[in-house]
Chains A and B, each alone.
Chain A
Amino acid sequence: MKTNKRLTVISLLLVLSIMLAACGSGNNGPKETNGSSGSNGSGKKVELTFSHYYLEEERPTSAEMDSYMTLVEKWEKDNPNVKLTQSVMSQADYSTKIQAQAAVNEMPDIFFLKGSWVGNFASNDLLMPINDELDKYEFKDKFRKGAFDAATQDGQIYGLPNQLSITSIVYYNAKLWKDIGYDSFPDNWDDINKAAAKFNEKGIAAISLGNKDKWPAESTILSTMGDRFTGADWTNSIISRDGKAKFTDPEFVNALDMMQKSTAAKIFNPDFNVISNAQAEEYYAQGKAAATIDGHWAISYLLNNASEDVLKETKVAILPPVDGGKGEANTISGGAGWYVAINKNLTGEKRDAAMDFLFKTAGYDFSKVYMEKYGMAGPSLVDGVDMTKFPQLTQDFASLTSKVTFTPIYDMLMPGGIIETMNTGLQEVLNGTKTGKALAEQLQSAQDKL
């Protein structure tokens, strides 16, 4: 019996020691790799890891992705001494994974960075500033105004934009609107509400919305409608948290109430809160809705998936102005929201290679390919492209967006906590189970805690 007891104790001790050993090595692991990252001998291949969300199967329907990946492939070919290991997943999975990697300080060498993450990542010292390289960049003057707003923290710029998000375009089926007596998309909300009743009688929705994932109503509608009510100064004040603007200001509450009223007037498909953004695009593409309010990404989708009849009749417009709004009428929520960024820990050859990669794939080079191949606007201005070779929809989109001013996209620039509260509450506001005022108060109390 005595020996048995002793054996038990010994085996337990053994387990403990193995546990401790494993713990120790677990803690040392990442440090070792970090330490060795700069000490690549010359002649050896430089190894870089690159995380992004451009899934190969989405390439045929995403002009943005195809343009970017074309440049990545070209860069790989031009730099045979670099081994670029890509880790690709869907955008939602990517967003989760990068947060987890940030939490343990194991960021990839190069990665996509969302504007709203910059504050958090920068304060945790995970991002490499690119100010010096940017000053030397030959196409620096070509960037659109505000292209770096979302990537800047305390004067440091942490990424190069690789897309231009325009989140709030009205795509409408001119024939369907003509059938009920409108020559173009209405320029006031009363007409939209009246039209909705007529469309509903026909069994289709006036505007398709797919808000299951909670961001579309906020990103594609509220970002612009809010601006119509509040003006861009209010939004910028909220983003910079200078305390001047509050979510409880009557203008913003009015915007939320307007969203509620429009939904109550049945301008959206009844299942707006349970279908995804892609399904809403599908409703429009199949002629089950007379319009949809969506971002620039819908262009690729519609060109590839809409039926011939729908595509032929598709026109673009902007959201109508509102009564008594402080904002300008000629604005759309848009701007650079995603960037390519570099891990702070890179040094030496690896840092140089990553920096080269950044400037050869994003920024002007990307904008050029995107414009020349697809006629779409990127974060840099590209001149002298003959637009007539592109589909009519692309041309209309380009001429519409060249005439408008961009205002901040809420979910690209406001902190994650605020956006999560806004998106969740907006579902209830649209359902009519929460008042605009109640959501505004919730948002302000979250803002006060930041």
Chain B
Amino acid sequence: MNQAMRPSRKSFAMYMLPGFFLYTFIVFVPIVLAFYYGFFDWSGGTKMTFIGFDNFTALLKDSVFIQSFYNNIYLTALCVIGQVGIAFVLALMLHSKRVKLKSLHRTMSYFPSVLSAVVIGFIWTMLYDYNYGLINIILKQIGWGQWAQPWLNNESLSLTLVAIPLIWQYIGYYMIIILSALSAVDQQVLEMAEIDGANSWKKAVHITLPLIKNTLAVCVTLSIAGTMKVFDHIYVMTGGGPGTSSNVMALNAYKTSFLTYKMGYGSAMSIGVLILSLVVIVGTRWIMGSFTKEREVR
């Protein structure tokens, strides 16, 4: 930015102030409070008993919480591959010269992102429905009626089935981000590669991918952060069930606090969710960083 246009540090600080203020109250203070409540045996209400780290140690031995963590990891893996992967492929297709009606495609694929999670949950619950669901109807039509089943009652599949709407909803969102990165790639580089005889696959892997890898890293991070805290889709579709088969950490923390009235333990659990999510995000960033280091241009 031009030095003359740059605001003074004072105005900078003033501009930051409202955002900083809001963030502190909406995000930072609740986290600190949850951490504080985690040290208490508290069922909601006025009576709180300090119990030190008991809640946190109990968390490490809580098989339901550990299972829900694994469920989160499985969901995250599916969603990163599904959301960012498919978005990348679609973005490349939309970016190519041969596609017609680009803006229509762009709008249509972004559309699910503007719907609320509850609506998405209901739509997909209907698709999976035993009697009227589109999936079962199609299966019966093509003669595979024996595969028709109450889908969300299948404990070994339920987690994958709730991942599909999550992936479907956010493809458009990541596609837009990747598209904007793609349009920043210098066309001349690609044209030169074409002259040298590179096909589309080679162009995508050896030129486009390295050039937008920072954007992809942001997408992966956003996708992980979004999936680690996922709640509403699953709450609407299965409520974590059948049993605990599609239970995730956030849902588990909610149930602990509001259905079993263990507010202290629930708070400790949400701190656990925060720490585990941070570990996963930092871990993947580190892996991505070391993976791409050798090819670093700068």
Cβ contact within 8 Å between A424 and B244: yes
Q: How far is the CB of B245 from chain A (nearest CB, A)?
A: 8
Is the beta-carbon distance between A271 and B261 smaller than 8 angstroms?
Answer: no
Q: What distance in Å separates the Cβ of B37 from its nearest Cβ neighbour in chain A? A: 9
Measured between beta carbons, the chain A residues less than 8 angstroms from B129 are 271, 274
- Convert A86-109 into 0s and 1s, putting 1 for each residue whose CB lies closer than 8 angstroms to a CB of B: 000000000110011011010000
Q: Is the CB of A427 within 8 A of B243?
A: yes
| B 42-57 contacts with A by CB, 8 A | 42-47
Q: Which residue from A105, A120, A274, A431 sits with its C-beta under 8 Å from B43?
A: A120
- With A8-B9, A125-B47, A271-B153 in contact, do A427 and B20 touch (Cβ < 8 Å)? no
Interface pair A125/B239, CB less than 8 Å apart = no
Residue contact B43 to A124, C-beta cutoff 8 Å: yes
Please name all residues of chain B whose beta carbon is closer than 8 Å to the beta carbon of A420 when the two chains form the complex.
255, 259-260
Distance, CA A105 to CA B44, complexed state (A): 8
Dominant SS among interface residues on chain B: loop
Q: CB within 8 Å of A: which of B217-252?
A: 238-245
Which residues of A have CB within 8 Å of B20? 15
A274:B150 contact, CB within 8 angstroms: yes
Which single residue of chain B is at the shortest CB-CB distance from A273?
Answer: B153
Q: Which residues of B contact A22 (CB under 8 A)?
A: 25
User: A415-428: contact bitstring with B at CB < 8 Å (1 yes, 0 no)?
Assistant: 11100100011011
- Residue B45 contacts which of A121, A431, A434 (CB distance < 8 angstroms)? A121
B263 at the A interface (CB under 8 A) = yes
Query: Which A residues fall within an 8 A CB radius of B?
Result: 4, 7-8, 11-12, 14-15, 18-19, 22-23, 95-96, 99-100, 102-103, 105, 117, 120-121, 123-126, 212-214, 269-275, 415-417, 420, 424-425, 427-428, 431, 433-434
Quote the shortest CB–CB distance from A447 to chain B (angstroms).
13
Q: Does B149 contact A (CB under 8 A)?
A: yes
Q: Which residues of A lie under 8 Å from residue B259 when comparing CB positions? A: 416, 420
**CB-defined contacts of A431 to chain B, threshold 8 Å:** 153, 155, 242-243
A11-B13 CB under 8 A given contacts A102-B45, A271-B131: yes
The secondary structure that dominates the A interface is: helix
Q: Does B14 sit within 8 A of A, measured CB to CB?
A: yes
| Minimum CB–CB distance for B70 against chain A, Å | 17
Bound-complex Cα distance A19 to B25 (A) = 8
Q: Which B residues are CB-close (under 8 A) to A415? A: 260-261
Q: Could you give 12 example pairs across A and B, Cβ below 8 Å?
A: A7-B9, A11-B17, A99-B257, A99-B261, A103-B263, A124-B44, A212-B239, A271-B130, A274-B130, A274-B238, A417-B262, A428-B245
A271: chain B residues at CB < 8 Å are 129-131, 150, 153
Within 8 A of A (CB), among B3-51: 8-10, 13-14, 17, 20-21, 24-25, 29, 42-47
Name the residue among A22, A105, A269, A431 with the largest chain B CB count within 10 angstroms: A431
Most buried by A among B9, B13, B43, B260: B43
The docked-state distance in angstroms from the alpha carbon of A416 to that of B262 is 10
Q: Bound state CA distance, A427 and B155, in angstroms?
A: 10
Whether B144 is near chain A, meaning CB under 8 Å from some CB there, is no
A425→B243 contact, CB < 8 A: yes
Q: Tell me if A424 and B241 are in contact (CB < 8 A).
A: yes
Fill in one digit per residue for B129-163: 1 if any A CB lies within 8 Å of its CB, else 0: 11100000000000000000111110100000000
**Cα distance A273–B239 in the bound complex, in angstroms:** 11
